[in-house]
Amino acid sequence: MVKKFRKFAHLLLASALLVPSGWLAPVARADGGEAAADTTIYHETFAEGAGAAAQAGGASLTPVTGKAFDGNDDGAALYVSNRANNWDAADFGFGDIGLENGKTYTVTVSGYIDENETVPAGAQAYLQTVDSYGWLAGADLVAGAAFSLTREFTVDTSKDRALRVQSNDNGASVPFYIGDIRITEKTAPGEEEENPRPPALEFAAITFEDETAGGFAGRAGTETLTVTDEANHTEGGSYALKVEGRTGTWHGPALRVEKYVDKGREYKVTAWVKLIEPASSQLQLSTQVGDGSSANYVQLSAKTINAADGWVQFEGSYRYNNVSSEFLTIYLESSNNATASFYIDDIGFEPTGSGPSEIQKDLTPIKDAYQESFLIGNAISAEDLEGVRLELLKMHHNAATAGNAMKPDALQPSKGNFTFETADALVDKVLEEGMQMHGHVLVWHQQSPPWMNTADGNPLSREEALDNLRTHIRTVMEHFGDRVISWDVVNEAMNDNPPEPADWQASLRQTPWYRAIGPDYVEQAFLAAREVLDEHPEWDIKLYYNDYNEDNQNKAQAIYNMVKDINDRYALDNPDKLLIDGVGMQGHYNVNTNPENVKLSLEKFISLGVEVSITELDVQAGSNYELSERLANAQGYLYARLFELFKAHASDIKRVTFWGLDDNTSWRASSNPLLFDKNLQAKPAYYGVIDPEAFIAEHEPESTDANQSIARFGTPKIDGAADQIWSLAPEMPISRYQTAWHGATGTAKALWDDRHLYVLIRVSDAQLDKSNANVWEQDSVEVFLDENNGKTSFYQSDDGQFRINFDNETSFNPPGLGDGFESAVQVSGTNYTVEMKIPFKTITPGNDVKLGFDAQINDAKDGARQSVAAWNDTTGTGYMDPSVFGVLTLVGKVDNGGGNNGGGTPSMGAENGRIKPEIKNENGRAIAAVSYDSLKKALEQAVPAANGAKHIVIELTKQADTTTYEAQLPTRILQSEDNFLLSVQTPYATLQLPGGLLSGAGVDTEHVSVRVAEGSRDKLDAATRERIGNHPLIELSLTANGEEVAWGSGANVTVSVPYTPTAEERLNPERIVVWYIDGEGRTTAIPNGRYDAATGTVVFRTSHFSTYAAAFVFATFEDVRNVPWAKQAIEVMASREIVQGEEGNRFSPASSVSRADFVALLVKTLELPNADDLNNGGGANANGSLSRQDMIVLTRRALEAAGKPLEAGGSLDAFSDAASMTGDAKTSAEALVKAGVINGKNGKIAPKDALTRAEAAVILYRIWKL
């Protein structure tokens, strides 16, 4: 039976002012006045059914009779069954039961558990509000016993809409009865005073000596917590709490502490911990503020401890500025070990004496300082939306991102069960306070429930995973609508520091989404999100890809390639539209981050034509919650450098979001990463952000000179023992520590010869350990090498990292660096010596050549790296930033005349396919004669490559005052039809001559001369000189007795010219071209010429020698902005003079292309000798418009004619009109689709449509890249 005693005023979201059960404050009375009376507002006995109760989750609500228990004399009750989750429960809507916003009520619930029910340990009934999930009261669930829940609360419809009777996680499967629910309101003759929160209770240290758990319960409900006498820390005591049965990193013992807290005060938390197993593990003491998806989790103290260490104290402090949730816990967990077991004892929780904080209201709001530039955002939880924290948030920010509340596991924990209540309350509060909301995140491999893409540990089928992905994206986006300004659609899909960023798909993380759907899951996610937005044109919402470590240039390039490829392909069918609107640079940096790398990445992403946001900015400085003045200023300096950069690019940046309000609540709290300290006071970092220029001027960073040393000429034996020759080399102390702990020490020495650098490192250690699977966390040494000492802030082709552990196990960065590398290790006790031989790959070594160099010792103990020491670098960024290396100068080589690098180089003979002939200098010409016998011997010794070809290198080393290098080669070798390549390597260029080059050329001299010379700019007109600038200009010739030789038909020589691109050119490498310059000084672009970032050279093939130059050409047209999907292709092809514009600097991208014109373009792009192979079976009208179907056939034929046949068997299932194509065209289309040359047009092949100039340029561009 239901009795409703008052009507309600509003039906809005609501939440409770929560005060723990059992210590309610009395209602105040006026002196001498009458006590307030209780008026019943709602009373339900369930005698006539379920009343106002509504199903929550998957629960079944069944009215029953005959179930009498304490507090339910009439036996009528509501049976809540079919429970699997804590939220499978009964809701009572405020509007349905007559509760009014702003009024205070007392609710009392009587319940019961059947005596035959199995009740897990720690199971409790909960009373809470929905949607904020404010906890009101709890009671233990016991089989055969009644329970009661009672609590006074204030309705707040801006946060909540209902009361819910449910359970905690431990009781998630336990059915229960609700026998009676009564809600009363206090009424008094006079005005009622606001009930204050009761003062904090005093905390008594928990020692477990009473043989109870002291209030501790498992966070997951599956842990085993046992009071035991197996271990004890308490003086004179016998017991501790044993924690076992953990199966997740977040599992562990937790204790509710809200009743011991006064709002705004700081508390010191201590716990003594003893590890059981494994032998070593990371553990951490943390605190949780709030419950559910809007909770905040803060690490207070983290340590890696060993079982042999015995009892270890964990201690930290936290200021509880927000207690409105009335759900505060302290707990222990492990960030990286899901199964570690341990004991805990002597738990303390006491005030530090530091009272509530106030914010500095006289500061310049950050949002005001940048109001003309970009939004200023912050990551928030419910803790940040009340009191002093809300004041700070609103003062400085105009945008917000939910830290956890909008992630997949928070919004859809089980399939079809969308839980928006917490996120809605957070979003609505943000908007109510006048800020904008960013949505984070729709698709991520973390904080996503496994059911989305995995079943029983195995990937779901592609179809099922795609359906889950699309459903989640659509449901979430439609729910929040235009309450958000943007979404992170996909988060962190890219691997760190991928070795081959050009292949972005191979650079993706092998996440559960990837394993279930494939590498296109990123694209599929954006397509699903775009589909929702297309259905709602009234929404102005941007779709972002978001990732971290984006200052790593390999990772940034892979992200760039991914976004560009996806957007380009989308634009083919959707002109003038982007699929990915923006790139989010997370910005989790540290004081050693090089802002030049951030700049490179930022400009790279801006060049995509998308907006950019800095989405999760923080800068680590200091450790163990301590920050020195020096590091605080260094942190401020980096923040200033970053904001100086952001201001300079403000027109392309939408938002800069900090990941947290203050150091105390940061996910990186121990390293003090934010602008405000734990007392909410501004740090130097704030002032660096507010006025970057002034801060930079006033805080010049401390600089440390790079260490310098020398490497002596000499060749040791690589056996791990130091030969006598090592006595020539000076020691380099490895003593600059990157860690607070100073562990293993050592020294390094270096030697060199004409082909290798040799390094010897001696290590003094106390323990040798390689138990960690991460190679960098094993006892090992590392050598870093920058062959050209370029001091770039990112790795180029000449840079590398070599790692060798004490067991002589090697690893390399990039991975392919190991070719030709050798090492040996000798271990003596816990000390070891490493010897290594590193081949020079990009330079010709010689006296006074300077290398970027560093040596490092990694010291591991019990499964974790505890110490890192280097010869030069103190930043720890050497794995990605060669600018932090020291300098090693090569010295000591004596030539055969007793001088250093004098007029000649002694002959080295033939060794492993490489010849270093004697060089004679004659008036600026370096001439080397190579005999037939030495070449023959080299060919005999060379090992064939996989294709059967042998490769011989003739190296002409750099000579002083030399502008021409000439190799005199035996003619009959080049007339031989043997399968080999002969490389003539000079400082200006390397020429790769194929076997049979002079076959049929009619040369009858004994020798021919291959000459490489620096080109003369004097022969060029002023315009050409200006276009070439400082780029390479070379002259190549092949002569016999001084006469030019034309070699055999069809043979090509490959030429590689060293080339260092500018910053602009690195962003647009496809616009670096090679020109052939004829005798009149006219330039012609060579279509096949291009820049090879891997080798740092421009590479081209030629069938004749002449003068050649490299240049940077940025060709564009006024009307290509209308076809963004084709713009890159048009400009790259125009830069190579393959396509041309029309009058008025226009390209006319929509105009049709004739068959004759497209054939000519194919011939030019692929450098075919003629069009004979293309016109077989061609159409009669060569000058008429070419259909897309005929284009497909011609393109496939052209590739075959160029020696680039395509694999057959691609699928046309995605194209609705594929069946309308002819047999030859359909086969060709399948092959071109598989090769990525064609992607269709609005979901169709459109075979009968006329080919446009823009489409033609895209096709040519794609086959040029094959």
DSSP codes of every residue in 704-756: -PPPEEEEEE-----SSS--GGGGGSPPEEE-EESSSS---EEEEEEEE-SSE
Q: What is the C-alpha to C-alpha distance for residues 453 and 1197, in angstroms, rounded to an integer?
A: 42
Report the Cα–Cα distance between both ends of the chain, in Å, rounded: 78
Which has the closest alpha carbon to 1218: 1187, 1237, 1245, 1253?
1245
Beta bridge partners of residue 106, listed in sequence order: 152, 184
Give 200's contacts (C-beta < 8 A, 6+ positions apart): 259, 260, 261, 262, 265, 351
Which has the closest alpha carbon to 849: 918, 789, 799, 785?
789
Beta bridge partners of residue 589, listed in sequence order: 619
Beta bridge partners of residue 476, listed in sequence order: none
DSSP codes of every residue in 889-921: EEE----TTSSSS-S------EETTEE---EEE
Q: 152 an active-site residue?
A: no
The residue annotated as part of the active site, out of 91, 223, 523, 616, is 616
Q: What is the C-alpha to C-alpha distance for residues 711 and 35, in angstroms, rounded to an integer?
A: 92
Q: Are strands 341-351 and 454-455 parallel, antiparallel or unpaired?
A: unpaired
Which has the closest alpha carbon to 799: 734, 855, 853?
853
Give 513's contacts (C-beta < 8 A, 6+ positions apart): 443, 445, 452, 453, 465, 469, 521
Half-sphere exposure of 1105 (CA within 13 A, CB side): 25
Element (H, E) at 784: strand 780-786
Locate 1072 and state its tokens.
Answer: 């670096």
The residue annotated as part of the active site, out of 258, 523, 547, 1119, is 547
Count of helix runs (H) and strand runs (E) in the chain: 23, 63
Q: What is the C-alpha to C-alpha distance for residues 1204 and 1168, in angstroms, rounded to an integer?
A: 12
- The region that residue 357 occupies, defined by phi over 0 for left and psi between -120 and 50 for alpha, beta otherwise, is beta
Q: 492 an active-site residue?
A: yes
Element (H, E) at 545: strand 542-547
Q: 463 an active-site residue?
A: no
- Cα 508 vs. chain centroid, distance in angstroms? 10
Q: What is the C-alpha to C-alpha distance for residues 240 and 232, in angstroms, rounded to an integer?
A: 5
Which residue is listed with tokens 């559960």?
512
Contact assessment for residue 320 and residue 354, using Cβ atoms and an 8 Å cutoff: no
Cis peptide before 441 (omega within 30 of 0): yes
Residue 1151 main-chain phi, psi, to 5 deg? -70, 150
CA torsion angle for 627, 633, 637, 640 (degrees, to 10)?
90
Alpha helices in 274-376 (DSSP H): 366-369
Q: What is the C-alpha to C-alpha distance for residues 921 and 902, in angstroms, rounded to an integer?
A: 10
Q: Is 1181 exposed, middle or buried (0-12, 13-18, 19+ CB in 10 A)?
A: exposed
The residue annotated as part of the active site, out of 492, 662, 798, 1070, is 492
CA torsion angle for 1131, 1132, 1134, 1139 (degrees, to 10)?
-110
Cα→Cα distances 339→277, 335, 387, 454, 981, Å? 8, 11, 39, 22, 58
Q: What is the C-alpha to C-alpha distance for residues 427 and 255, in angstroms, rounded to an integer?
A: 29
Contact assessment for residue 753 and residue 714, using Cβ atoms and an 8 Å cutoff: yes
Known catalytic residues? 492, 547, 616
